[in-house]
Amino acid sequence: MELNRNKKQKINHFLLAALITGGTALLCAPLANTQNYHVVSFILLFVVSILATFMGTGPVLLASTLSAIFWNFFFIPPHYTFHIEKTEDILIFGLFFIIALVNGVLTTRVRKQEKLVRDREKRTNALFQLTKELSKASGINEVLKVAINEIRNHFHIDSLFILQDGENTLRNSGRLQKEKQLTPEEYNAAKWAFKNARKAGALSPHPMGIDFTIYPLQGNRVSPGVVIVKLENEFTTDQQSYWDTFLVQISNALEREFLGEMAQRVRFLDESDRLYKTLFNSISHELRIPVATIMGASDSMLNSSNSSVMQSALSNEIFTASLRLNRLIENLLNISRLESGHISARLDWYDMNDLVNKVADDLKNELKSFTLKIDVPEEMPLVKIDFGLMEQVLYNLLINSTQYAPPASDILLSISYSSQTMLIEVSDNGPGFSEKEISLVFKKFFRVNENKTGGLGLGLSIAKGFVEAHSGTISIENRDEGGAKFSIRIPTEEPDIKNLQETGNE
C-alpha cells in the first residue's frame, strides 16, 4: 500500500516537472523573437530551483534537461533547431545546463539529508516512547499490548506474538493471541525460528512456504518467543535497524516479566512446600505424643494391678495428654476459621475482670509453677469486645509465656484504658526474642527453638487474627529488664451507664 502510493507520487512528479517546465517555456514565448531570450534562461533556472525544493532528483533532472532543450530549441537563434550560432550562446547554454543540474541535485540532496535527520529523530522519539511504555507495563499481557500498539503505530503492520510456556517450548495453544489460529506450516516455522533464533518465513532465507515473516525474540537469559508479521516489502537498511532495535526493547521487557514470573512461581512452590512439610511434621508429631501417652498409660492401667497412687498418676497423664490434643484441635479449627475469613467479632459489654479471672482459672494448672500478677485498675471501664475471641487471645499469650519463661518467674498481665483504647500487656522473664524472631512470631507455624517446646506455632498467629477482628493491633518487644512483652491495643468506647437504671418493679 505504502509503496504503491510512493510509486504513483513519483510518476506524478515527473509529469508535473515536465508540465511546469513546458508551461513556463510557453509563457515565455513572446520573448522568443526579441533580443531578451537570455532572460528566459534565468526564468527557467528559477523554475527548476523551485521544483528542486519539493521534488526528487529524477524529476529535477528531467526539468533541467527539458528546460535546456526548450531554451535551445525555441529561444536561441536560429529558432526551432538545436543549432547554436553564437559562441557565447554555446557557453551560456553549457553553463545553463550545468547550473540547472547542480542546483536541482544539490537542493534535493539537502532536502534528503534533512528528511533523514527528521526521520532519525522521529525514530529516536518512537523508541523512547516504546521504552517508556514498556517499562510502565506490568505483566506479560500488558507488555504485549504495548508492543502490538507501538508496532502498529510506527511500522503500520499488525503483529502476533507467540510466547514460550516457561519450559522453553512454544505451544500452539499457549499464549497465542485469540484472533488468529496458526496453520501447521506457520506453527512449524515459528518453532523453527524460536529454536534456531533466526528469522523465518516470507522475505527470509528460510521461506518455509508461508506468507508471514517470523522474527525470534531474544533476551539475555530467556528467549521469550517469536513475533509474526506480514510484510509487503523487505525493510530498507534503515528500517531494518529500527525494527531490530524495536524487537530488542520488546524482548527485554518480555524477558523481565518472564523472569519475574518464574521467580514468583519458584517462591510460591518453595513456600507451599515448606508449609506443607512443617504442617505435616508438626501435626503428626503433635498428635503422636499425646496419643502415645494415652495408649501407654491406659494400657498399663488395664494390664497390671497398680497401686491406687500409680493409677491416679497414670490417669493424670491421660488427662493432660487429652487436654493437649484438645488444644491442638481448637487451634487448628481457629486457624482455619481465620483463614476462611469466618471470624467476625460479636461485640458486647464486658468486665475485663471477668475475662482475666476466667482465663487465669482455665490455666491454673499450667500457671502453677509461675506467679501470675494481674493488674486491672479499680476504675477500669466496661469494654466492648467479643468475649470468646479475647479469651482465646489471652489464653494463647499466657500459654506462650509459660512455655518460654523460666520456672518460678513472674508473668505480668496488666490492663489499662485511656482515650477510647484498651491496652493489654503480657510480660514475662523469658529469653525474649531476637530481631529476626520478632518479625516472624505472628507467622503461622513459626516456633522459636523448634524442638524444645510443643505446639504447632499457631497460638500467636491466632491471637493476632482475633485481635485484628477487633480492629486492634498486637505487637511485641523485648523488655529492658529482660523477657518479652506483648501489647494489645483494642479500640473501644465508654459505656452509657450515666443513667444507670434501678429497676422499679419492687
Partner 1 sequence: MNEEDTILIIDDEKQIRRLLEITLSASGYKVIQSINGRDGLIDAATHRPSLIILDLGLPDTDGQKILKKLREWYQKPVIILSVRDSEEDIIKALDNGANDYLTKPFRTGELLARIRAALRSENEMADSAVITFGSLTIDCTSHVVRKNNEMLKLTATEFSLLLLLAKNRGRVLTHQYILKEVWGYKYIEQTQYLRVFVAQLRKKIEDNPSKPSLLITESGIGYRFGE
Q: Smaller CB distance to partner 1: residue 256 or 327? A: 327
- Chain mean position to CA 297: 58
Interaction site with partner 1 (CB under 8 A): 322, 326, 346, 348-351, 353-354, 357-358, 361, 374, 382, 386-388, 391, 495-497, 500-503, 505-506
Least CB distance from residue 267 to partner 1, whole Å?
37
Which DSSP letter does residue 162 get?
Answer: E
Q: Smaller CB distance to partner 1: residue 3 or 302? A: 302
Q: How far is CA 376 from CA 383, 413, 490, in A?
A: 13, 8, 15
Least CB distance from residue 474 to partner 1, whole Å?
21
Least CB distance from residue 328 to partner 1, whole Å?
12
Q: How many CB atoms lie within 10 A of CB 162?
A: 25
- Chain mean position to CA 155: 27
Least CB distance from residue 382 to partner 1, whole Å?
5
Q: Smaller CB distance to partner 1: residue 381 or 431? A: 381
Residues 6+ positions from 472 with CB-CB distance below 8 Å: 488, 489, 490, 491
Q: Smaller CB distance to partner 1: residue 173 or 501? A: 501
Provide the residue type at 458 as one letter: L
Cis peptide upstream of residue 78 (ω within 30 degrees of 0)? yes
Q: Smaller CB distance to partner 1: residue 349 or 446? A: 349
Least CB distance from residue 388 to partner 1, whole Å?
5
Q: 410-418 and 371-375: which strand pairing?
A: parallel
Nearest to 414 by CA among 396, 399, 426, 402: 426
- Chain mean position to CA 504: 68
Least CB distance from residue 309 to partner 1, whole Å?
19
Tell the residue number behind the cell numbers 437504671, with chain if given. Answer: 501
Least CB distance from residue 310 to partner 1, whole Å?
20
Q: Smaller CB distance to partner 1: residue 4 or 501? A: 501
Q: Is 108 helix (H, G, I), strand (E, B) or coil?
A: helix
Residues 6+ positions from 396 with CB-CB distance below 8 Å: 459, 460, 462, 463
Q: Smaller CB distance to partner 1: residue 116 or 333? A: 333
DSSP H helices in 137-175: 140-155
